[in-house]
Structure 1
Amino acid sequence: MINKLKFYLNRLPWQNKLVLSGSTAIFFTFFIFSFLEYHTVSKWMMNREEIVVNRTITDLKTYYKDKADSLTREEIKNSRDFLRKINDKDQLIRVYDQKGEVVVSDKNGNFTVLEPTPIKSQLIEKISAEGKEAIVARSPIKGTNFEGTIEIVRQLNNYQKMMDHFFWVMTVFGMAAILFSAISGFFLARQLLTPVRDLTNAMKRIKETGFQGRMEVYKQKDELTELTNVFNEMMDEIETTFLQQKQFVEDASHELRTPVSILEGHLSLLNRWGKKDPAILDESLQASLQELARLKKLVVDLLELTRAGSQRSLSGEKANIPAVLQRVVKNLEVVHPDFQFKMELEQRLPYVLISEQHLQQLLIILLDNSIKYSRNNRLIQVSCTRIDKNVLLSVIDNGIGIPSEHVSEVFNRFYRIDKARSRENGGTGLGLSIAKQLIEKYNGAISIESEEGIGTKVNILLPAAF
C-alpha cells in the first residue's frame, strides 16, 4: 500500500505536489493547534464548573456553620428556601444524614437517582450516568445535634453544549481553511512554477531554433530570477563558444586548404612533367617540403590553441621570470646570432603564478614575433618590474609596427596584417591568440602598444606569488 502511494505521488506534477504538501502541512498544523486549543478550553471550562460547585458548597457550609450550636434536622429542613436561592440551573443540592436519609433537597432539572454516600472529608468527582456527565461534590457538616453530608450534583449540559458548538465551529473553520489553502496553494504554486515552465519552453525553443532563445528576466529579486539570469548568461556563453568554434573551424579549414592546394598542385605538376625535368622536380619538392613544414606548424599551433582554451588556472604553480627568460634568450641567441637581446630586470623580483612551461611558451611566442617582424634594427628589449601585487613583463622591438586600426584585432585567431609577409615568415596567425588565452587562464592581462614603422611593445601583467 505504501509503495503504491509513493508510486502515485512520484507521478504527480510538481504543481500538484506543492499543493498537496502545503495542504497536508496546513491540515496537520491546524489539527494539532485545534487539539491543543480544544483540550485547553475544555479544561478551563471544567475548572469553571468546579469553581461554581465549590463556591456553592462553601456558602452552604458557612450557612450551616453559623447555626452549628442549634443545628437540628428541623433546621436543615427549614433551609430549603436558602437552597433554592443559591441553586443554579441543571444543579441538585441535597443534605442527608449519616444513614443516607435525605433531609432536604432542591433540584433544578432532571437528574439520575444517585445513592447517598456519607463521607468524612470533602471530595469532588466527575461521573457519567445514562449518557450524561455531571460533577458531584460532597462535604461533611457537623453540628451539636446533627451530622451529615452536603451533596451537589451539577450536570454539565452547558459545558457539553459549549464544547460541541466549539468542536463544530473548529471543524467547519478547519475545512474552510484547508479548502482555502488548497485553492490559494494551487494558484501560488502555479505562479511560483511559471519561471520553471518558461525555462522549459525556452529550452524547447532553443532545441528547435538554435542558441538565440533567452528567458524573460523577471523584475522581482528572488532565487528564480537568479536562476533565469544564470540560464541566460550560460546561453550567452554557449552561443559565444559555439560561434567561436564555428569560426575556428571555418578559419582552420581555410588555412589548411591553402597548403593542401599547393601540395596538390605541385604533385600534379610532378605527375605530368616533373618526372623527366630535374628543375621542375627540384622546385616542386622544395615547395612541397616548405608547405609540409608550414602545415605541421599550423597543426601544432591549433593543438596548442585548443589546450590553452581548455586548461584551467593552476594557481598553485610558480615560475621564476629571470631564470626562464635567460634560458629562452640563450636558446634564441644560438638560432638567431644576428639579433641582440637586452634585458632590464628589477632586482629581487617575486615569483609569478604561472607554470614555467607556459611562461616559456609565452616568451617564445612574443620574442619569435619580434624577430619575424624586425627590420634593420635587430635589438629586442625585455624589461620586468613589480607593480603592486603583479609583475609587468614587456617585450619591445624596433620592427615594422602595427597600424593602429589593426591593434585590437591581432589577438583574433588567424588574424594577419600582411598575409604574404606572414606566409613568408612561416606565421599562422595563432601565436598571440594562444598567448592571450594562456595569460587569462592565470588571471593575467596582455596589451599591445605599437606605432607603424617604429616598433611594438607587448605588455604582460601576471599576479605575483607571495
Structure 2
Amino acid sequence: MGKRPMKKGNRFVSLRVKWAFGTAIGSMIIFLVLALTLVSAFTTDLLRQERHSLQTSMTTVARHIDDSFQNESQFTSRQVGQSLYEKPDSHDKDGSYYHHSMVQSLANSNLTIKVYDRQGRPVFATGKTQAGLKRQSGRSIQQTRGKFHKIYVGYQRLRSKQTGQTLGYLQVENHLTSYYQHVQRIHLVCGLLMILVIIVTGLMGYFLSYILLRPLNDIHDTVVAVRNDPVKNIRVPEMHRHDELSELGQMVNEMLDQMQRYIEQQGQFVSDVSHELRTPITIIQGHVEMLDRWGKKDPKLLDSSIKAVLQETSRMNSLVQEMLDLSRAEEVEVQFKGSECVVNDVVTHVYNDYKMVHPDFMFMLDNDLKNKIKVPVYHDHLEQILIILCDNAVKYSTKRKEIHITLSRNLNSVEIGVQDFGEGIGPEDAKRVFDRFYRVDKARSRKKGGNGLGLAIAKRLVEGYHGTISLESSLGYGSLFRVTLPIVDEPKKKGKQN
C-alpha cells in the first residue's frame, strides 16, 4: 500500500501490525491466566508434599526417641546419635520402623534434624539449622524466612513413652531446595513457552491479516487514483469474498459512480445554464443597442424592443426560479423530514384547479382509494409534482385535449398516474426526459415556454421522499407518467406514540 498523508506529529502504523500486536497480546494474556492457574495448583501441591515430608520425618524421629529413652540422664549426644542411626532389632513390631526408616529421613538433603535437651542445649544435629529453638508444648509447623528463601520449620516436645518425663525438644527444617528448583524450572519453561506463543501468534496474526485485508490495497489504490483525477473511470475490482470488505468495495464503487454522475451533471448544468442565459442576454443586449442607436425616435421600434426585453426578462426570471426550485429539491430529505399529507386531498385539489383553469380540456379522475391515505411528502411538494406533470400534459396535447389522472394503491405504496394523448416521446428521448435542461424539441419547447427543468425537479422531489417516477410513451399516442410513493404506516406510528 502507498504512503498516506498524515498529520504532522502522527506516525502511520499499519493495521496488519496492530492486528498482529493485538493477537500476540491477547494470546499472552490467555496464556498467562492459564499458566498462573496451573503453576499455582502445581506449586501448591509440591508445597503440600514438602510439608507432609517434614511432618512424617518429625513423627518418625519423635516416635523413635520417645520409645528409646526413659529419663533425662540417658538423653546424651552419643546415645541420641546411636539411637537415630542404629538399625532396629529384628524382633521390633514386624519391622514397622523400616517403613519410616531413620536413614531415609536423615539422608534427605532438604531436611535438617536437630535435637535439644530440656535446657535447650543441642545434643544431636544432622546439619546447620537456619532457625533458633522455640519451645513448644506440643507440635507446630511454621513457614519462616531462611537464608535465601522461605523454609518450613517444625518443633515438637520429646517425652518418654515409659515415664512421661520431658526429654527435650525436636527441631526439623525443610529447606525447600527441591521445591524452589522445581518452581524455577516451571517458570523458565512457562517463560519460554510464552515467548514462543507470542512469536507464533503474532506471525500468524500478521499473515492472516495480510490475507484478509488484501482488498484494502485495491480500495486504497482506487481512492488515491480518483483523488488525483476525479473524472478517471477506475473502480475497485470485484471481490468474491461475501464479507464486509466486499460490501465496502461495492459501496465505494457506488459512491464513485454517484460522484461522477454529480460531476457530469454539474458540468452539464453549468454548460446548460450558460447556454440558456446567453440567448436572452444577447437578445436584450441587441434590443438595447438598437434603441441606443436609432430606436429612441421610432415609437414602433421602441414598443417592440420593450416587449422583447420584457419577454426575455420574464423567461430569465422563470429560469432562475426553476433553478432555485431544483436546488431546494436537493434538500428535501433534510429540510422536510417527517412531513405527511393526505394524497387523496392533494390529487383532488389539483384536479379541480385544472378543470377550472383549462375548460377546453377534458380532465378525468379515476380514484380507486376507498379511505384517506397518507404519504410521507410535504403537501406543497406533492402539489408541485402534480402541477409539473399536468402542465407538461397540457403543453404537449395538441389534437386530443384529454388528460386522465389515476390514483390507486399497491401493497405498501400509492401510485399516481398522469396520462395525455398528445405528441408522445421517442425511446431515445424518454431516457433523458428527466435530465436538467433537456427538451425533446428545443425549438417547439421554446415556443411553449419551457426551460427543461420541470421534470428534473419532479424527479428529484419524488426520489427525495423515497419514491419513484417513470415514463411510458409512444410517438403520436401520448405519454403516461407514474409516480409511486410509500404509505405512512398508521398502526405502527400509533404504536410508537403509545
Cα distance in 1 for residues equivalent to 2:295 and 2:133: 141
Partner residue of 2:102 out of 65, 72, 83 = 83
Deviates more, 1:63-72 or 1:121-130: 63-72
Provide the aligned C-alpha RMSD in A. Answer: 3.8
For residue 136 of structure 2, give the secondary structure of its aligned residue in structure 1: coil
Question: Alpha-carbon deviation of 1:220?
Answer: 5.5
1:452 aligns with 2:475: yes
**Aligned AA (1:83):** M
For residue 427 of structure 1, give the secondary structure of its aligned residue in structure 2: coil
Contact 2:60 2:102 survives alignment (8 Å): no
Question: Alpha-carbon deviation of 1:316?
Answer: 2.7
Q: Please show how residues 301-312 of structure 1 align to structure 2 within 5 Å.
A: 301-312=322-333
CA shift in 2, pair 1:59/1:429, >3 Å: same
Q: Please show how residues 247-396 of structure 1 align to structure 2 within 5 Å.
A: 247-312=268-333, 314=336, 316-346=338-368, 347-396=370-419
Q: Please show how residues 184-195 of structure 1 align to structure 2 within 5 Å.
A: none
Contact 1:370 1:399 survives alignment (8 Å): yes
Cα distance in 2 for residues equivalent to 1:75 and 1:427: 128
Cα distance in 2 for residues equivalent to 1:135 and 1:325: 98
Cα distance in 1 for residues equivalent to 2:306 and 2:206: 79
Contact 2:68 2:83 survives alignment (8 Å): no
For residue 391 of structure 1, give the secondary structure of its aligned residue in structure 2: strand
Cα distance in 2 for residues equivalent to 1:229 and 1:392: 31
Q: TM-score, normalised by structure 2?
A: 0.76
Contact 2:407 2:415 survives alignment (8 Å): yes
1:6 maps to which residue?
none
**Aligned AA (1:328):** V
Partner residue of 2:162 out of 144, 149, 154 = 144
| Cα deviation code 1:262-306 (max 9, x no counterpart) | 222333333334333333333333222222222211111111111
For residue 293 of structure 2, give the secondary structure of its aligned residue in structure 1: helix
Partner residue of 1:241 out of 262, 268, 284 = 262
Question: Alpha-carbon deviation of 1:413?
Answer: 1.4
Cα distance in 2 for residues equivalent to 1:270 and 1:131: 117
Deviates more, 1:170-179 or 1:313-322: 170-179
Cα distance in 1 for residues equivalent to 2:49 and 2:258: 74
**Aligned AA (2:138):** S
Question: Alpha-carbon deviation of 1:162?
Answer: 3.2
Cα distance in 2 for residues equivalent to 1:225 and 1:86: 73
Question: Alpha-carbon deviation of 1:96?
Answer: 4.3
Contact 2:341 2:374 survives alignment (8 Å): yes
Cα distance in 2 for residues equivalent to 1:79 and 1:307: 109
Question: Alpha-carbon deviation of 1:154?
Answer: 3.0
User: For structure 2, which runs of at least 5 residues remain unmatched after alignment?
Assistant: 1-8, 87-100, 491-498
| Cα deviation code 1:185-211 (max 9, x no counterpart) | 888888898777876665554443234
Q: TM-score, normalised by structure 1?
A: 0.81
Cα distance in 2 for residues equivalent to 1:419 and 1:11: 57
| Cα deviation code 1:236-277 (max 9, x no counterpart) | 322221221111111111122122222223333333343333
Cα distance in 2 for residues equivalent to 1:183 and 1:384: 65
Contact 2:130 2:147 survives alignment (8 Å): no
| Cα deviation code 1:73-122 (max 9, x no counterpart) | 569843423522442332333544433455655x3xx4248665553201
Deviates more, 1:116-125 or 1:179-188: 179-188
Contact 2:413 2:487 survives alignment (8 Å): yes
2:45 maps to which residue?
44
Contact 2:61 2:84 survives alignment (8 Å): no
| Cα deviation code 1:31-50 (max 9, x no counterpart) | 77777766655443332211
**Aligned AA (1:464):** I
For residue 172 of structure 2, give the secondary structure of its aligned residue in structure 1: strand
Cα distance in 2 for residues equivalent to 1:348 and 1:230: 40
**Aligned AA (1:261):** T
Contact 1:396 1:455 survives alignment (8 Å): yes
Contact 1:100 1:117 survives alignment (8 Å): no
Question: Alpha-carbon deviation of 1:372?
Answer: 1.0
For residue 252 of structure 1, give the secondary structure of its aligned residue in structure 2: helix
Cα distance in 1 for residues equivalent to 2:343 and 2:28: 70
CA shift in 2, pair 1:206/1:95, >3 Å: same
**Aligned AA (1:123):** S
2:433 maps to which residue?
410
For residue 418 of structure 2, give the secondary structure of its aligned residue in structure 1: strand
**Aligned AA (1:350):** I
Q: Please show how residues 204-215 of structure 1 align to structure 2 within 5 Å.
A: 204-212=224-232, 214=235
Deviates more, 1:185-194 or 1:254-263: 185-194
Deviates more, 1:27-36 or 1:161-170: 27-36
Contact 1:308 1:437 survives alignment (8 Å): yes
CA shift in 2, pair 1:402/1:221, >3 Å: closer
Cα distance in 2 for residues equivalent to 1:324 and 1:79: 116
